[in-house]
């Protein structure tokens, strides 16, 4: 169920039932009970400074259902600031906050691990030259934050990506 105001704010309530959830630890592990995930998400966007800058944000909160939701954060917040240099060039600064999560390890014995919360910052540049050619440069995790999205699996530190798209 969602409520929207014009084109700049949306509030959504969700209630999902997952049958036979699959959890990865040292192998694939099917959780035989059904899970319920419910919560809300709010998103908003607003033009700033002569509409050359656009600020966007979304926040997701999971409501406690007394069912363990491994590898899922209770709170997530994402923010973007886009600069529209012209109709074909966009520079985006974004930040993602991921709240505390718990991972489950079943071998050699069952244990729960807290992965901790973290914030990641990224910078992106996109340029479209025409209908067929575009390039993009992405600087991900530019503060070189050490974090784990799942216990025991470190994520990339600072990294760069270059993308060239040509449509035939």
Determine the 3-state secondary structure of 124 from DSSP.
strand
**Per-residue confidence (pLDDT) for residue 37, from 0 to 100:** 86
Using pLDDT thresholds of 50, 70 and 90, give the confidence band for residue 144.
confident
Say if residue 128's pLDDT is above 80: yes
Cα angle, residue 162 at apex, residues 135 and 142 outer, rounded to 5°:
120
Q: pTM for this one?
A: 0.80
Alpha carbon distance 125, 114 (integer Å): 34
Q: Is the pLDDT of residue 11 over 90?
A: yes
Direct distance between the N- and C-terminal alpha carbons of the chain, in angstroms, rounded to an integer: 41
Give the distance from CA 165 to its chain's centroid. Answer: 24
pLDDT of residue 5: 81
Counting the structural domains of the chain, the total is: 1
Q: What's the mean pLDDT in 10-16?
A: 92
In a domain, 32, yes or no: no
Residue numbers of the domain that contains 92: 43-166
Q: How far is CA 29 from the centre of its chain?
A: 24
pLDDT given at position 129:
96
Q: What is the pLDDT of residues 90-126, one digit of tens each?
A: 999 999 999 988 877 665 567 777 778 999 999 999 9
Position 82 in a domain: yes
Residue 59 inside a domain? The answer is yes
Whether 72 is in a domain gets the answer: yes
Report the alpha-carbon distance of residue 164 to residue 120 in Å, rounded: 24
Q: Is the dihedral of CA 39, 148, 104, 27 positive or negative?
A: positive
In a domain, 141, yes or no: yes
Please indicate, yes or no, if residue 12 is contained in any of the structural domains: no
Contact 57, 67 (CB under 8 A): no
Tens digit of each residue's pLDDT (9 = 90 or more) over 18-67 = 877 666 555 555 665 677 889 999 999 998 878 899 999 999 999 977 77
What confidence score (pLDDT) does residue 82 get?
Answer: 96
- Residue 8 included in any domain: no
In a domain, 66, yes or no: yes
């Amino acid at each position: 169920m969602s409520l929207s105001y014009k084109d700049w704010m949306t509030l959504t309530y969700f209630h999902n039932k997952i049958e036979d959830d699959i959890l990865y630890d040292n192998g694939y592990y099917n959780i035989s009970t059904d899970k319920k995930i419910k919560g809300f998400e709010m998103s908003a966007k607003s033009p700033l400074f002569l509409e050359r800058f656009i600020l966007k944000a979304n926040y997701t909160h999971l409501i406690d259902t007394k069912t363990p939701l491994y590898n899922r954060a209770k709170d997530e917040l994402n923010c973007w600031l886009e600069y529209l240099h012209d109709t074909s060039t966009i520079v985006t600064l974004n930040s993602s906050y991921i709240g505390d999560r718990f991972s489950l390890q079943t071998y050699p014995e069952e244990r729960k691990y807290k992965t901790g919360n973290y914030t990641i910052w990224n910078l992106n540049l996109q340029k479209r030259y025409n209908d067929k050619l575009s390039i993009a440069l992405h600087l991900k995790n530019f503060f070189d934050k050490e974090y784990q999205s799942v216990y025991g699996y470190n994520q990339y530190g600072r990294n760069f990506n270059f993308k060239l798209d040509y449509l035939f």
